[in-house]
Amino acid sequence: MGSVSNSLSSITNPITVEGSSGTGGIFTGTSQFSSEFQSEISREVQIADLPIQMLQNQVTSLQSQSSALATLNTDFTSLQTAVQGIANALDGSSYAADVSNPGVVSATLGTGATQGVYNIQVENVGSYQTSLSTNTWNSSGSTPNTYTLVVGSQTYQFTPTDNSAESVAAAINAQFGNLVQATAVNVGSASSPDERISLQSTSLGPTTVDLQLNGQSLQTQQNPPGSLAQYVVNNSGITVSSNTDTVTISNGITLNLLGAGSASVTVTQPISVLSNALQSFVTAYNQCATDLNAQRGQSGGAIQGQAIVNELQQALNSIAGYFNTANPSAAVNSLSSLGIGMSTTGQMSFDELTFAGAELDGSAVVNAFLGSATSGGFLETATNALNNLLEPGSGLLTTEQSNDQTQITNLQSQITSDQANVSAMQSSLQNQLAQSDAAIAELEQQYSSLTQMFAAENTANLQIANGV
């Protein structure tokens, strides 16, 4: 019987079955039909995998499209930033102010400032109303007093943490610092201190700044009283009075009055600021055109042949081809007037000399052509075109990218579900065929045992017959 056992063990053969979807399992068979069972499982898994492969191909294609759209989104966002850079160059923050007499005024420029020369005659820089405690400050008393602050015709009550001059001044500054500034000062010597509270209004001009306790004034108003600032702009003959020494003489032009006298403020825009902004615009535009062109033709990118390619090109064309139809005879009516040319390959170029000539002929004409993002001109056209592409939730590019990502997510979920089904099917087949294989193997073992038994009996009979 030992030879029978050896014969049976020699046909034991573990078989591995794995589907192309990544599902797999171990099918262990011992019958002579094990390889056929393995082939059948593999064939069924491969057939079930075909729809999954199609879904995976769709995901790969969508991922390539999404990548191409992301590149174009970056390009057009850079172009949007460059257009904003042109608008910033026209903003007052890019202008420079030259003051003829720095001892009279200093200038700060902001949004809305325009080029020009502004003259100012400062007659009085003004002064603040001040007061000082009439007597040495009395900080006695364990319970904090309730004081009354008087600023002009208004009164305000407050209670400090204690009655010291420092605590009273701190309370005033914390609660009413927009009206008056308080300081604790020593008008005596180090050896014989005389501590008092000084008050100063935050607005120029004569007023009352007083501190009272129980209805009694603790302060003496200082002389001379405060005075308003006074100045005349561009020799208008009209004296303007102000309760602050920071005054706005034109939209975006703020002056700080420093001393009496005359000064002129010349506001100019360095040509390099706008020139650099236009060069950045040209560079960003060319990158958009290059990457968009790469999506065309038989060897084009992942979105070649799709409508979005033409729609993006139309947006570029509307920007590059802007023409001032409202004033077609203006010296500057197109980008070419600013030195921005277009080649036959769709690439822009920028000629700084042509732009400099346009600026010399009149920056106001250049600014009128460019306009702003909201009030017409080239900037409004470019801004609207790019917003239509990039606006979160509604822009053409952003919506297309979002749709692709949604499809990719849905397909990946479907693939995961289908792979689980294939795995379940494979496991079921393995279990069913394992049972069949085990039954066949048992029959094979019985057949082998009977065969060996009959062979041994025949051998014994022959030996008897031969007298062995």
Residue 464 lies in a domain: no
Q: pLDDT value at position 29?
A: 66
Residue range 244-270: average pLDDT? 92
Whether residue 19 is found in the same domain as residue 86: yes
Tokens of 67: 């990548």
Q: pLDDT value at position 466?
A: 78
Report the percentage of the chain scoring pLDDT > 90: 58
Task: State yes or no: cis peptide before 225, omega within 30 of 0.
Answer: no
pLDDT tens-digit series, residues 397-441: 999 988 988 898 999 898 888 888 888 887 887 777 777 777 787
Q: pLDDT value at position 103?
A: 96
Question: What is the residue-averaged pLDDT of the chain?
Answer: 87
CB atoms closer than 10 angstroms to residue 96? 13
Whether residue 318 is found in the same domain as residue 390: yes
Residue 406 lies in a domain: yes
Half-sphere exposure of 246 (CA within 13 A, CB side): 6
Residue 5 lies in a domain: yes
Q: What is the dihedral of CA 437, 440, 441, 447, to 10 degrees?
A: -170
Domain tally, the chain: 3
> To which residue do tokens 């025949």 refer?
458
Q: pLDDT value at position 455?
A: 81
76 neighbors 388 (Cβ within 8 angstroms): no
Q: pLDDT value at position 42?
A: 78
Whether residue 368 is found in the same domain as residue 434: yes
Q: Does the pLDDT of residue 3 top 70, yes or no?
A: no
pLDDT band for position 92 (50/70/90)? low
Whether residue 31 is found in the same domain as residue 75: yes
Beta-bridge partner residues of 263: 120
User: Which comes out higher in pLDDT, residue 431 or 149?
Assistant: 149
Query: Which of 165, 195, 221 corresponds to the end of one domain?
Result: 221
Q: pLDDT value at position 422?
A: 83
Whether residue 415 is found in the same domain as residue 367: yes
pLDDT band for position 11 (50/70/90)? very low
Q: pLDDT value at position 225?
A: 94
pLDDT band for position 30 (50/70/90)? low
User: Which comes out higher in pLDDT, residue 342 or 271?
Assistant: 342
Residue 467 lies in a domain: no
Of 26-35, 54-63, 184-193, highest mean pLDDT: 184-193
pTM over 0.75: no
Q: Does the pLDDT of residue 93 top 80, yes or no?
A: no
Angle at 334 between CA 94 and CA 278, to 5 degrees: 35
CA distance 401 to 403: 5
Whether residue 141 is found in the same domain as residue 54: no
Domain range spanning residue 121? Answer: 96-125+228-268
Residue 376 lies in a domain: yes
Whether residue 91 is found in the same domain as residue 116: no
pLDDT tens-digit series, residues 444-455: 788 888 888 888
Whether residue 195 is found in the same domain as residue 144: yes
Query: Which of 191, 221, 251 corresponds to the end of one domain?
Result: 221
399: nearest Cα among 283, 308, 288 = 308
CA distance 284 to 292: 12
Q: Tell me which of 7-11, 196-200, 279-283 is least confident.
A: 7-11
Q: Does the pLDDT of residue 19 top 60, yes or no?
A: no
CA distance 115 to 232: 20
Whether residue 146 is found in the same domain as residue 24: no
pLDDT band for position 7 (50/70/90)? very low
pLDDT tens-digit series, residues 314-327: 999 999 999 988 88
Q: pLDDT value at position 435?
A: 78
Residue 428 lies in a domain: yes
Whether residue 315 is found in the same domain as residue 392: yes
Residue 290 lies in a domain: yes
Whether residue 255 is found in the same domain as residue 308: no
Q: Does the pLDDT of residue 292 top 90, yes or no?
A: yes
Query: Which of 163, 187, 221 corresponds to the end of one domain?
Result: 221
pLDDT tens-digit series, residues 350-389: 999 999 888 877 778 888 899 999 989 999 999 999 999 9
Q: Does the pLDDT of residue 277 top 70, yes or no?
A: yes
pLDDT band for position 120 (50/70/90)? very high
User: Which comes out higher in pLDDT, residue 468 or 441?
Assistant: 441
Residue 465 lies in a domain: no
Whether residue 323 is found in the same domain as residue 441: yes
